Amino acid sequence: MRVHVADHPLITHKLTVLRDKSTPAPVFRALTEELVTLLAYEATRNVRTEPVEIETPVTMTTGVAISTPRPLVVPILRAGLGMLEGMVKLLPTAEVGFLGMLRNEETLEPATYAERLPEDLSDRQCFVLDPMLATGGSLGAAIDFLFARGAIDVTAICLLAAPEGIAALEKATEGRDVTIVLGALDERLDENGYIVPGLGDAGDRLYGLV
Ligand code: PRP
Ligand code: URA
């Protein structure tokens, strides 16, 4: 598993505002989208392309187009939905599948409550969106799901991660082509499984309490 932690002052600045508990939901949503677009630039570095011939006003030349089958973007509901627009802005030809997962706040185990993905993902590049990688349970289950359907490589974009979640994913994804692109790697998990310093509950900050 490859882990890439973004190192850019714009990303760190936007994350600082996101972490601030006084940042209201509309600003939080706008910043989440902007951050994803910046992280998507790194996450799509190995997106597969194929050569295409085009004619400029001056001459014929060769460029590239995104290969088929088209990449699949998978936001993990709820919080991952806040990242979708920022991602498809950069990769407009991608298809979008959905996974709904809820972490049990007592056991910290994830449960899948919704799934709308192609049955066959053979030969597909997949991009998973989830802002928080805490214990790694939710992302690990999502990655297992995609590989079980035949995905060839999975890149996850997360705004924040805890070292405990990265270590758990390292083990769970051994031997698979998995890349994690992070806005920041935080210090630790607290006793409730929250990322420290973190930003709190991403789903609640985007969409309110349920
Ligand atoms: C949050 C977050 C991740 C998960 C991370 O979702 O968006 O999916 O927790 O925790 P983990 O790494 O320990 O699994 P949550 O289950 O709170 O659902 P929500 O997005 O609907 O708020
Ligand atoms: N889920 C969140 O939304 N935040 C955390 O810190 C951990 C899990």
Check which CATH number belongs to the domain holding 21 and give it: 3.40.50.2020
Q: Is the ipTM of this complex over 0.95?
A: yes
- The verdict on the CB of residue 79 being under 6 Å from ligand 1 is yes
In this prediction, residue 210 carries a pLDDT of: 67
In this prediction, residue 209 carries a pLDDT of: 79
Ordered per-residue pLDDT tens for the chain, 210 residues: 999 999 899 999 999 999 999 999 999 999 999 999 999 999 999 999 999 999 999 999 999 999 999 999 999 999 999 999 999 999 999 999 999 999 999 999 999 999 999 999 998 999 999 999 999 999 999 999 999 999 989 999 999 999 999 999 999 999 999 999 999 999 999 999 999 999 999 999 999 876
Ligand nearest to the CA of 138: 1
In this prediction, residue 3 carries a pLDDT of: 98
Question: How many domains is the chain built from?
Answer: 1
- The verdict on the CB of residue 102 being under 6 Å from ligand 1 is yes
HEC readout, the chain = CEEEECCCHHHHHHHHHHHCCCCCHHHHHHHHHHHHHHHHHHHCCCCCEEEEEEECCCCEEEEEEECCCCCEEEEEECHHHHHHHHHHHHCCCCEECEEEEEECCCCCCEEEEEEECCCCCCCCEEEEECCEECCCHHHHHHHHHHHHCCCCEEEEEEEEECHHHHHHHHHHCCCCCEEEEEEEECCEECCCCCEECCCCCHHHHHHCCC
Show Cβ contacts of residue 65 under 8 Å, excluding neighbours closer than 6 positions: 49, 50, 52
Active site residues: 103, 107, 201, 204
Q: State the residue range of the domain holding 199.
A: 2-207
- The verdict on the CB of residue 138 being under 6 Å from ligand 1 is yes
